[in-house]
Amino acid sequence: MTEGEPTADAVRSQEARSPAASQGTVSELMMPHHVNNLGNVFGGVILSMVDRAATVAAMRHAGRSCVTVSIDRVDFREPIYAGELVTCHACVTYVGTTSMEIGVSVFAADLLSGVERHTNTCFLTFVAIDDDNRPVQVPRLELQSDNDRQRFHEGRRRREVRQALALEFGEKEKR
C-alpha cells in the first residue's frame, strides 16, 4: 500500500449496501418449554429470536462482528402459543457511522390453518466492531425504493428521539 492509498477497511466502509442484501430471518417452532403457565410464549424467547435475526442483518451489512448496543421498547400485544411457528424478519433500516438500526418484524403462524399473524415490530441498534472490539465504520445504506427511503427517514428520527431521551434522563450526551 502506498502513502495516501485508502486502507482495505476504508474501502469496505465506503461500499454502499442495500437493505435487501442483508436481510436476516430466524424461524422456530414454539414448544411447551417456551411457554409460561398460561400457555403464552415467554417474551424473552421472542426477544432472543429478535436479537439473533437482527444480528444476521447487522453482520451481513457490516461484513464484520457486531454487538447489540440497544433494544427499543418492545410491546407484546398478542400472545403466541406452543405449536405456532415464529419467524423474525430483520432488515437494516438506518445506518450512522459505526451503528446500524435494525427493524425486526415478528410473525406467528398456525401451521395447520396456514394463518399467519404479525405480532410485533421492534428496533435494535447494533455497532460493528473491529478485532480490538472497538466501534468501526459501517457501509452506507443504498436506498433502492420509496420504502427504503421512508424507513431510513423514520430510523433517523428514532435516533434523534433516543438521543433526546438519553440527554433528558442523564445518559451520555453523544448517544
Ligand X SMILES: CC(C)(COP(=O)(O)OP(=O)(O)OC[C@H]1O[C@@H](n2cnc3c(N)ncnc32)[C@H](O)[C@@H]1OP(=O)(O)O)[C@@H](O)C(=O)NCCC(=O)NCCS
Residues that bind ligand X (CB under 6 A): 67-70, 96-99, 125, 127, 129, 135, 162, 174-175
Q: 37-54: buried (b, 16+ CB within 10 Å) or exposed (e) per residue? A: eeebbeeebbbebbbebb
Handedness of CA 43, 44, 49, 53 (dihedral sign): positive
In whole angstroms, the minimum distance from the beta carbon of 102 to ligand X comes to 12
State which residue, 77 or 169, has the beta carbon closest to ligand X: 169
Question: How many beta carbons lie within 10 A of that of residue 173, not counting itself?
Answer: 8
In whole angstroms, the minimum distance from the beta carbon of 60 to ligand X comes to 16
In whole angstroms, the minimum distance from the beta carbon of 17 to ligand X comes to 16
State which residue, 52 or 117, has the beta carbon closest to ligand X: 52
State which residue, 85 or 143, has the beta carbon closest to ligand X: 143
In whole angstroms, the minimum distance from the beta carbon of 10 to ligand X comes to 15
The three cell numbers locating residue 173: 450526551
Strands 84-95 and 99-110: antiparallel
